Chains A and B, each alone.
Chain A
């Protein structure tokens, strides 16, 4: 019997999963226009490797980054690059950044790629290279490059965890994936096990996904994939959080400031495993994923196998459009998603859900009352923080205390916010405090650098001054001697002139003048 562990707190939320999970998985048409923001994850942008007017094929690399943290971006259908211009990003800031726009030609011509059905013969490094080249990032939401995550370096890994605990309400894309493509997930897990060199793989799945569990069990009952443990975990938000799932399945905790690999674990979303399978065995780069489109504001909720780069508006159109009740557009789930101002934004690799909520389906910001210190927030915090104390100190701008109460450990799951009877937007306070801390840290680093520079300059100036002084000293000393000899010389010359009155004065002059020039030591 497998022992499950518990994490502190958590919430039983209304799942709202039926609407989208009951509808069959549909394949979204290729939209007339695809948009690929060059900034896929915070940090450096990828550089476009195509030009306006270029014809690109499906699966062709259109942008590359400069390091392992920045895997390539592929065209998800064939067509012509019509623009490379700033476009709004699907990011809370709504800021614009460069994006490649492709007008699709409807041909969907594929790019020649290399498949490796015999991947057992490939070395882990080679598999990692294929994963990187296929542009695979974590599809659970964080979009962390998979090739980096599967390269734990010197850390000893003994367990691969596949995250199928889709804990956030409304989202059913992983459920749909496991129901329709269980083999791809399991085979992808095998590949990842080979990359990591581990024997143990745990697939964690929430117990409110019976169809997906059945699909996996049916395959295992035929005797295949016995090396992968499918483990059902109680539906409790946020079991699907990486740190929480690691705790549930292994009882280990990821040390603060560490990564899962420090606990001997690498955790991958089930969607990522399927993408790895497609990349390695079929040679298909990451150009499509399953996206849930749901909420009372959508006419026909469901899951769509969607090309990456598809504008949200098109996906909404395929889903029957907005219903009259549509009120808010959310990318992601209701607990951790971001609210969008426009549906012209494209779906990026990490987009798992388009939630259009209807009237009264979500609560907008409410009038916050004073904190009554009821402690409900601390009770539900999956990290076991004291949100109430963090709130007091955040409000008082006491950053030192906020840090002391470990605001940086907050995973922004929203549990505290959800239960607060005073409707205090706690997570907003913590996000603000965190970014202030980051800014302060940046300032500190900057100040440290400036101080180091200043000190180095002071030392250099001091040294130069000293050297100049020494040089002057030496020059003086050096001059003192030649002076004596020059006098001697002059006397000698004078004496010689008396003897040789026809001697030219020119040579005298040069020798006289060159002497001090040659003397000072060079430094």
Chain B
């Protein structure tokens, strides 16, 4: 018998980084498939281009840094980042939007900081915000949903043209998002009741995802189901999603009660834009969120607050990206101040009093 020496513990759970990434990707599949189905070939092409470029950028950075390419690529983090970027893009955006987005996420968002686990900001949100600021036109041209193989759905060649040849979408195939429409109408003095009608707002359709919007964000229902599955699998904790969604819901309710014409209600807020994706998939990113449960509650609530504030009073119709980035910046501060109480110590970390006042 050759005895091998090592130090305790000698046993480990089966949990692996790859497994975690795979589970998150799996949870994204339903919402992504739905997006591809209702937005057609261009959405599929854009998704493919974005994910592949993320992998290529990751491989290139690893090669430059002299790190093992295959081993790190297999951890699945680049795949997930690319996938998340794709989900936040307008489905008919040109191919180079996907490439630039993936490049920003992987190179600027992650690898320059040292790779997995080192980045202060969520790579996907960094890419989204950078693209939105740099290419406002491409990032706000929204395709309308259509049933596959219906007359309004682009065929294979049309799809190729839209994604790769910069063909502009036929008029009538694009339209504003609900949330964008609400803001535009509001700026022209029309209240919520009018704008919702003109935007063909329907609660059920909105929840299911039958509306204009980002590739993988329109179906709040499928995104939420994926998130709940992650919760059940204990891949993510409940603290961030619950505090984020609750903050948005409470703020929306309060302001809707104050002025229902000016402020949208909680259902509208929770079923539009990127809120669900942010709550379950973006804000819960381990690397860029606080580690203590109390810190996570604060973090989630902060994200929710900024989302509501930017949507309601900001210049942009959607604030999820900015909000998450802002709170990412605060994460080290939250982690510094919010720590759990250690056994045998008080909340401030001082040893509990010994009997007789000794310390």
Contacts and interface: CB of A to CB of B under 8 A. Distances in A.
B116 interface: yes
Contacts of A383: 342-344
A44 to B, nearest CB: 26
Interface string B74-93: 01010000000000000000
A471 B340 CA distance: 66
Interface string B263-305: 0000000000000000000000011010110000000000000
A382 interface: yes
B187 to A, nearest CB: 41
Interface string B17-34: 101100000000000000
A155 B358 CA distance: 11
A374 B20 contact: yes
Interface stretch (A141-149, A277-285, A339-347): A339-347
A369 B291 contact: no
B133 interface: no
B286 A255 contact: no
Interface stretch (A121-129, A195-203, A267-275, A415-423): A415-423
Interface stretch (A51-59, A302-310, A326-334): A326-334
A8 B343 contact: yes
Contacts of B9: 334-336, 414, 417-418, 427
Interface in A416-436: 417-423, 425, 427-428, 431
Contacts of A373: 117, 286-287, 289, 291
B6 interface: yes
A306 B79 CA distance: 57
Contact of B11 (A253, A389, A418, A423): A418
Interface in A331-390: 332, 334-342, 357, 362-367, 369-376, 378, 382-386, 388-389
A251 to B, nearest CB: 12
B202 interface: no
B12 A417 contact: yes
B341 interface: yes
Contacts of A417: 9, 12
Interface string A391-419: 00000000000001110010010100111
B136 to A, nearest CB: 33
Nearest to A340: B3
B2 to A, nearest CB: 8
A341 B349 contact: no
A384 B17 contact: no
Contacts of A243: 343-344
A421 B19 contact: yes
B353 A326 contact: no
A264 B355 CA distance: 9
A135 interface: no
B8 A258 contact: no
Given A256-B345, A256-B352, A364-B4, A386 B117 contact: no
A329 B342 contact: no
B341 to A, nearest CB: 6
B12 to A, nearest CB: 4
Nearest to A13: B11
B7 A428 contact: yes
Interface size bucket, A side?
Answer: 35 or more
Given A369-B75, A371-B117, A383-B342, A363 B354 contact: no
Contacts of A341: 3, 5
B15 interface: yes
Contacts of A169: 11
Contact of A247 (B16, B343, B351): B343
Contacts of B16: 421, 423
B333 to A, nearest CB: 14
Contacts, number: 171
B1 interface: yes
A372 B354 contact: no
Interface string A186-209: 000000000000000000000000
Interface size bucket, B side?
Answer: 35 or more
Contact of A363 (B10, B335, B341): B10
Contact of A327 (B4, B15, B289, B351): B4
Nearest to B236: A374
Contacts of A419: 13, 15
B57 to A, nearest CB: 18
Contacts of A420: 12, 15
B176 interface: no
Contact of A421 (B1, B15, B292, B349): B15
A372 B10 contact: no
Contacts of A31: none
A411 to B, nearest CB: 9
A366 B14 CA distance: 12
A198 B1 CA distance: 50
A262 interface: yes
B351 A258 contact: yes
A379 to B, nearest CB: 8
A339 B7 contact: yes
Contacts of A13: 11
Given A370-B116, A386-B292, A422-B17, A258 B344 contact: yes
A36 interface: no
Interface in B29-83: 71, 75, 77
A92 interface: yes
B349 A363 contact: no
A337 B10 CA distance: 8
B285 to A, nearest CB: 9
A329 B292 CA distance: 37
Given A156-B355, A421-B15, A336 B291 contact: no
A517 interface: no
B262 interface: no
A7 B292 CA distance: 16
A479 interface: no
A257 B6 contact: no
B292 A385 contact: no
A423 B9 CA distance: 11
Contacts of B343: 7-8, 243, 247, 253-254, 256, 382-384, 409
Nearest to A388: B291
B344 A255 contact: yes
Nearest to B71: A367
A331 B283 CA distance: 44
A495 to B, nearest CB: 82
A39 to B, nearest CB: 21
A240 interface: no
A322 interface: yes
A297 interface: yes
Given A334-B10, A427-B7, A322 B1 contact: yes
Interface string A6-33: 0110000100000000000000000000
B124 to A, nearest CB: 15
Contacts of A386: 291-292, 339-340
Given A389-B335, A428-B7, A409 B286 contact: no
Given A253-B352, A258-B354, A384-B343, 7 more contacts: A92-B7, A253-B343, A326-B1, A334-B10, A372-B77, A405-B339, A417-B9
8 contacts: A332-B8, A335-B8, A335-B10, A369-B75, A371-B117, A372-B117, A378-B340, A427-B8
Which 4 interchain pairs have the tightest Cβ spacing? A414-B9, A255-B352, A256-B351, A256-B344
